[in-house]
Amino acid sequence: MNGLPRTLPEIAGILGFLGNEQRLHILAAISHKEKFAREISEELTISRPLVVIYLKQLEKHGLVKGTDQRCDEPPYHRRYYRAQPFKFTLTLETLSQAEQE
């Protein structure tokens, strides 16, 4: 994540974002091996356009890193994605501190 969420709206936002089961499946699918969108789409039986949208969102939040690679056969350009390590712990103390900010 691009820094830990510090305010209640930021905490609610990341929890809502990660509350989507398909996004979590995508993170799990690329947690140990980088893959490109078509591979993820076929593996999870989610449409490729939706996988691409989710990957871009995950990348924006810093949960996924995309790497462009050129290939000798079509498609000549592929973007591979891999989940980035993160840890987010929610406690009452975290909520209390966020309320005060």
Tell me the C-alpha distance between 32 and 83, whole Å. Answer: 8
Contact assessment for residue 65 and residue 81, using Cβ atoms and an 8 Å cutoff: yes
Domain segments of the chain as ranges: 8-88
pLDDT (tens, 9 = 90+) of the chain, 101 residues, equals 666 778 899 889 889 999 999 999 999 999 999 999 999 999 999 999 999 999 999 999 899 999 998 878 777 788 999 999 988 888 999 888 887 76
Could you tell me how far CA 5 lies from the centroid of its own chain? 15
According to the model, what pLDDT value does residue 101 have?
65
Whether domain 8-88 has CATH 1.10.10.10: the reply is: yes
pTM: 0.83
Looking at residue 82, its amino acid is: R
